[in-house]
Structure 1
């Protein structure tokens, strides 16, 4: 998608542009055709901003879109997280809003950059926003279904019970016994097995 541009009514050399930059959206201002300043935020924040602009233009009611409830549990290693605060000593916020996997929670950082987040497949270098890693100061858990309780996991892990074997005819045991009795002497024929099975059945009668 091309950049979105709005030009000043009084001077077409003054304008704003909006563009997609990775997972964020950037807003840039220009005066006399020269770049002045830029601001980057998540798509959710820009949607709220856009609703406010539309409200000023009397198109719709403005206001923030109701947000989904925030997850209540703290993120742990292996969770999918969203970066809320970048490394304050080494970056200007370009990692804010990115989603990755929490790889390390460092208790020895004294709150400076306790979280190591990796992006994509983690194969890139440190500082790579696509497949690398980065230490940050604050993250939040990406809203996902709550983990299963132990008893729920046990239910899912249980192997399905074997179906009961079909009921056997009472004559089958005599046929099997007859074959076992005749086997040591010679390879039994069908007639021999049946005759001996009938005899065994009559003996039990």
Structure 2
């Protein structure tokens, strides 16, 4: 039978040993050869104890390794697998964008998402979704692209802009807060006007499909100048300010 022992630094006559005893690990202390005490641990507790000793000796985390959390996170795209799970306004085949997580909700892991035009974040269980096919990554939105809002401001007027389509005016880059500024309609309205104004949002996707009300879409003058400016600048790197300057130059010359 294998036994592992450790001898005290102060006295070689004081020893602690560990060995298997049936289904348990026995820890026993002896002094001057005389048995003093023993403790019995099941294998799980013995492993935790051993890792704790390693942590004390090496100053590293010797705790139980935690499995990686592979559950969806905010911003992930998920494919809906059934019609109207938990009465959500989605059907099989729809793709949603995770706006929040609510794990262990009533004993069920759920994520939350906004449906078009809703300000309520719907709960949908993980059993009703799976990661959307990543085989063909969506094109990254660029300033001037026609985009659809997938996640809007999570503090002010949350959900009101999800699903709306507009033109990407500015990309602030990755980081906390609202990354994108989007113009809706012809841009003649103030910031916050959902018809012809602008709004800052967390995430967008490139929208190549006309909406049902745009059977014969007619670009506003501003959008047309933006498109012409993009074409003129296609061979060089440009930012939102440069694009806007060229668009304004074209507008002034018309």
More helix, by proportion: 1
Greater relative contact order, per chain length (Cα 8 Å cut-off, separation 6+): 1
More strand, by proportion: 2
What is the TM-score of this pair, normalised by structure 1?
0.36
Which structure has the larger Rg over C-alpha atoms? 1
